[in-house]
Amino acid sequence: MSISMAALKQLLSRTNTLWKPAARCLAQSAQQKLLPDDYDYDGPHVVTQVPGPRSKMLLKSLDNIQNTEAVQFFCDFKKSRGNWLVDADGNRLLDVYMQIASLPLGYNHPAVVSALTDENNLSAFVNRPALGVLPPVDFPDTLQKLLQVAPPGFCQVQTMACGTCANENAFKAVFFWYRARQRGSLIPTEEELESCMRHEEPGSPNLTILGFEGGFHGRTIGCLSSSHSAPLHKVDMPVLDWPIAPFPVTKHPLDVNAQENRLEEERCLDKVFQLMQEYKNKGRPVAGVVVEPIQSEGGDRHASNSFFRQLRKLAKENRSAFVVDEVQTGAGLTGKMWAHEHWGLEESPDIVTFSKKMVIGGLYFKEEFRPKGAMRIMNTWLGDPAKLVILEAVLNVIQQDRLLDNMTETGQVILQGLEKIQDKHAEVFSNARGRGAFCAVDFPNTSTRDRAVATLRNKGVQCAGCGAKALRIRPALIFQPHHARMFLDILEDTALELKSLGT
């Protein structure tokens, strides 16, 4: 069932008349195009308000079945291509959000389509195994591909179905490691095995994970107990009372404000140290620290490389594990495969979690965090080989098309453009910041930000906010400088429009 690229294009075009009449994108940059011409266009094509009438009709149907308050509009994925998302009403939008930062190569990338239609891969899609007990014959080889892009210092990996499960299981690995060291043995005692069934110590230990204000790691109870980005994520939920450290509120550009930022970061590190002592004294030691390289849901909050290097040392000195949550920052958007590679750590993290653009969830961990005993890190599916087939295609494209370099180059265009616009329209947005193409700006308040998102959408750019007032930019890895310039033009239009409305 493997088909030629010509046949594939023909197949895609058959179901897709929208693409035929549109003008092709003219070369706006000397850079080579990463996709065939009919995957790219010289601009958005907006024919209705977004959401349009068909999206609104579909919303009504869906609302009969489940809560739809977060739905933006309905997508026609068959008609979407590359960086261009087509909605139910035929609007074609330049997508700098990519399904909450989760699609690495945009829509219908030929390499992913090709992997899907390769008969050798069919079995992986048809027969989902219980990976922890009955793995497929090619599983060790497949995991080697995951290890080839592991952060420096890692040779162990465990797949999971999503980012939340990756983080919950990272915490489990931390607790197992911590208790093994405390009792001096990998094997639990009889007393522990018996007391845990009554939820009592020593079997159910009172260990904690230290998280940060503004941090986000998922919405199950363990993840929620370490997440502090928004009240609506946490309210009404019982949680474990784990320590919450302040995350530096830094000023941008980081280098220009280095002195002031350093004081702020020291304040936060001091507080981390204090919390570690305080919780130790309470008999609830901090077994692990979890942090994102850029707080993403929390509003694109950055700290300096030095902050993270010191935090890593603090964790080590406290004998706490250092867990880096790269669910949103990983897989290349910052210009490196893993955002924490920017930090220049002396000693790598203990565990790095991933999902989203990695197509599959999971955790890289050091050998000492490998659990002893069957079934301790386990569930029925433990991920999905079908997603590993797609990931392999994605990783090949990242390498062949030098997409990390593309993110560095495109990111510079985005950030310089954001700075230029904010210099002209400081009252509309400010605080332009980013690493690679992982960029953001802040609006004066939530309502203006939300109005900007809506205005951008109706001008043909699909994007979204994060935190209280940030606009986040999370394009696919195939987002090139000429796309960035289109986005910036529309953003400047939007700024002018908001300004004229007296924002």
Active site residues: 216, 325, 356, 380
CA angle 453, 456, 458 (to 5 degrees): 110
Distances (CA, A) of 146 to 12, 61, 150, 320: 30, 40, 7, 26
Q: Which residue's CB is nearer to a copy of itself, number 22 or number 113? A: 113
User: Smallest gap, in angstroms, from Cβ of residue 198 to a copy of itself?
Assistant: 8
Distances (CA, A) of 232 to 66, 238, 421, 464: 18, 13, 33, 18
User: Smallest gap, in angstroms, from Cβ of residue 72 to a copy of itself?
Assistant: 5
79: left (phi over 0), alpha (psi -120 to 50) or beta: alpha
User: Smallest gap, in angstroms, from Cβ of residue 427 to a copy of itself?
Assistant: 28
Among 299, 162, 324, 302, which Cα is nearest to 230's?
299
Q: Which residue's CB is nearer to a copy of itself, number 296 or number 422? A: 296
Q: Which residue's CB is nearer to a copy of itself, number 208 or number 250? A: 208
Q: Which residue's CB is nearer to a copy of itself, number 255 or number 367? A: 367
How many CB atoms within 10 Å of residue 204? Answer: 13
Contacts of 32 (CB under 8 A, 6+ apart): none
**How would you list the strands of the sheet with 84-86, edge to edge?**
84-86, 92-95, 461-462
User: Smallest gap, in angstroms, from Cβ of residue 78 to a copy of itself?
Assistant: 4
Residue 435 C-alpha from the chain's centroid: 14
Q: How far apart are CA 22 and CA 352, in angstroms?
A: 43
User: Smallest gap, in angstroms, from Cβ of residue 409 to a copy of itself?
Assistant: 26
Among 289, 273, 319, which Cα is nearest to 180's?
319
How many CB atoms within 10 Å of residue 66? Answer: 7
User: Smallest gap, in angstroms, from Cβ of residue 231 to a copy of itself?
Assistant: 4
Report yes or no: 80 and 16 within 8 Å, Cβ to Cβ.
Answer: no
Among 145, 170, 143, which Cα is nearest to 350's?
170
Q: Which residue's CB is nearer to a copy of itself, number 263 or number 375? A: 375
Q: Which residue's CB is nearer to a copy of itself, number 225 or number 304? A: 225
Among 307, 272, 267, which Cα is nearest to 289's?
272
320: left (phi over 0), alpha (psi -120 to 50) or beta: beta
